[in-house]
């Protein structure tokens, strides 16, 4: 994974050339100050824990299942992490995924169009929702919490209202027999067999998104803008950072990933329940927060969010592999997440003390 080499890709700060100790220390410090360090330790702890306690956990097929569960959260945790680094929240992200799936399913069905047409229309609509969030936020200067809560309710209502109005029922009709379904499924919901293990394609999407987001954050001007905007928007504006454009872009990034997740939902499960997705926005925020993104903005990483999603995936499925009493499932999950996050915070604090 790109987790290991990402810190090295960061531009080396100027240490005295020839002074070996200085270079060495700054490298260690750079490693220690990476936001995902704590979460990586947390992830290793959770992994070791379930490897010891649940015998089927270490099987390749099981790990592939865990990765699939992580990837469906992780695909959304990446843009949500970027948004959080930029100092904003998006409460509409969970429902937006379902909206995106509903739009492409219903457009294809009602127009009797090739499913790819629905997929394209859905991309435009979803990006428009993201832009709506971003523009409204930057124009009104209201907290993102309020704006996206409004969008959350509106989308929840629209999902149900439109589906009922157009389909006559609360779930969409099957589009599995329509043209273009199979090729779209190949892109969004297929699985590859690597070394006898089934790998869901969402895992590939996930890793690709993490790589792109990490590159943007660490290597491009836009990445600097995101950190600056989340740190102090006014100061950023004063030095010429396009705050408005950056924030709108971040919301559209969330929308784009919601589109990918939505298409996966549609082509994997064929018929979409219009009431789904509520509450998932918190999973994305949790993954980003567990992965070291500060709730106040200005600090965090895409890799951290990916590790956060991985911790969530491992904990939630590891409990099933361990065959614990299901009545206590949510309790165990909460304990796991809390412990992983505490370990995360502890490691980071020690890292900061040392450096």
Partner 1 sequence: MARVGRRGRVVGAVLAAVLGVSLAGCSSTGGKRAEERAAQAAGGKAAVHTPRWTFAMVTHSGDGDTFWDIVQNGAQQAAVKDNINFVYAHDKEAQRQSQLVQSYIDQKVDGLIVSLAKPDAMKDVVRKAEKAGIPVITVNSGAAESKAFGALTHIGQDETVAGEAVGEELTKRGKKKALCVLHEQGNVGHEQRCDGAAKTFKGELQKLYVDGTNMPDVQASIESKLQADPAIDAVVTLGAPFAPTAVQAKEQAGSKAEIDTFDLNAQVANGLKDGSLGFAVDQQPYLQGYQAVDLLWLYKYNSDVLGGGKPVLTGPQVITKKDAAALQEYTKRGTR
Residues 6 or more apart in contact with residue 257 via CB below 8 angstroms: 75, 76, 78, 79, 209
Closer residue to partner 1, CB minimum distance, 164 or 219: 164
Nearest approach, Cβ of 256 to partner 1 (angstroms)? 16
Residue 118 Cα to chain centre, angstroms: 24
Closer residue to partner 1, CB minimum distance, 26 or 183: 183
The 10 Å Cβ neighbour count of residue 4 is 9
Q: Which residues bind partner 1 (CB under 8 A)?
A: 54, 56, 59, 61-62, 65-66, 68-69, 72, 107-117, 120-121, 124, 156, 159-160, 163-164, 168-171, 173-180, 191, 198, 202, 264-265, 268-271, 273-280, 283, 313, 316-317, 320-323, 326-327, 329-330
Cβ proximity of 36 and 311 under 8 Å: no
Closer residue to partner 1, CB minimum distance, 189 or 351: 189
Closer residue to partner 1, CB minimum distance, 14 or 112: 112
CA-to-CA distance for 10 and 346, rounded, in angstroms? Answer: 24
Using the structure block, give the residue that is written with the tokens 């390749």: 60
Nearest approach, Cβ of 23 to partner 1 (angstroms)? 45
Closer residue to partner 1, CB minimum distance, 145 or 282: 282
Angle at 160 between CA 155 and CA 165, to 5 degrees: 120
Cβ proximity of 79 and 254 under 8 Å: yes
DSSP tag of 307:
H
Distances (CA, A) of 258 to 56, 87, 96, 251, 301: 32, 19, 6, 10, 19
Closer residue to partner 1, CB minimum distance, 114 or 224: 114
Nearest approach, Cβ of 64 to partner 1 (angstroms)? 8
Which H or E run includes 304?
Answer: helix 302-321
* Whole-angstrom Cα Rg for the chain: 21
Nearest approach, Cβ of 312 to partner 1 (angstroms)? 10
Residue from 188, 123, 130, 119 nearest 155 by CA: 130
Nearest approach, Cβ of 103 to partner 1 (angstroms)? 12
Closer residue to partner 1, CB minimum distance, 14 or 325: 325
Nearest approach, Cβ of 204 to partner 1 (angstroms)? 15
Residue from 74, 90, 93 nearest 302 by CA: 74
Nearest approach, Cβ of 188 to partner 1 (angstroms)? 12
Nearest approach, Cβ of 130 to partner 1 (angstroms)? 16
Distances (CA, A) of 302 to 2, 34, 110, 130, 278: 11, 11, 38, 19, 24
Nearest approach, Cβ of 33 to partner 1 (angstroms)? 34
Closer residue to partner 1, CB minimum distance, 27 or 204: 204
Cβ proximity of 73 and 283 under 8 Å: yes
Closer residue to partner 1, CB minimum distance, 107 or 227: 107
């Amino acid at each position: 994974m790109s987790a290991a080499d990402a810190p090295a890709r960061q531009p080396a700060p100027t240490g005295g050339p020839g002074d070996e100790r200085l270079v060495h220390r700054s490298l260690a410090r750079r490693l220690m100050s990476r936001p995902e360090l704590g979460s990586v330790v947390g992830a290793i702890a959770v992994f070791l824990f379930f490897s010891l306690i649940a015998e089927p956990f270490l099987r390749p097929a099981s790990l592939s299942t865990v990765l699939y569960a992580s990837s469906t959260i992780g695909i959304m945790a990446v843009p949500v992490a970027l948004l959080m680094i930029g100092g904003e929240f998006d409460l509409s992200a969970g429902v937006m995924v379902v909206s995106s799936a509903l739009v492409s399913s219903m457009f294809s069905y009602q127009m009797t169009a090739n499913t790819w047409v629905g997929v394209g229309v859905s991309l435009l609509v979803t990006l428009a929702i993201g832009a709506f969030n971003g523009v409204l936020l930057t124009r009104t200067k209201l907290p993102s919490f309020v704006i996206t809560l409004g969008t959350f309710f509106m989308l929840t209502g629209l999902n149900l209202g439109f589906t009922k109005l157009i389909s006559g029922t609360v779930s969409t009709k099957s589009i599995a027999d329509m043209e273009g379904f199979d090729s779209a499924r190949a892109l969004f919901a297929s699985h590859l067999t690597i070394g006898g293990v089934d790998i869901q394609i969402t895992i590939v999407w996930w890793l690709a998104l993490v790589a792109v987001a990490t590159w943007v954050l660490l290597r491009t001007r836009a990445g600097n803008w995101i950190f600056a905007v989340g740190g102090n928007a006014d100061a950023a504006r004063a030095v010429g950072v396009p705050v408005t454009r950056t924030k709108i872009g971040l919301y559209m990034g969330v929308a784009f990933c919601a589109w990918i997740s939505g298409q996966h939902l549609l082509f994997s499960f064929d018929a979409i329940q219009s009431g789904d997705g509520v509450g998932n926005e918190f999973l994305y925020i949790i993954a980003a927060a567990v992965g070291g993104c500060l709730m106040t903005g200005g600090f965090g990483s895409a890799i951290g969010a990916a590790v956060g999603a991985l911790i969530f995936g491992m904990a939630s499925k590891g409990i099933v592999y361990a065959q614990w009493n299901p009545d206590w499932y949510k309790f165990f999950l909460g304990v796991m997440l809390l412990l992983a996050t505490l370990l995360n915070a502890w490691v980071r604090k020690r890292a900061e003390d040392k450096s």
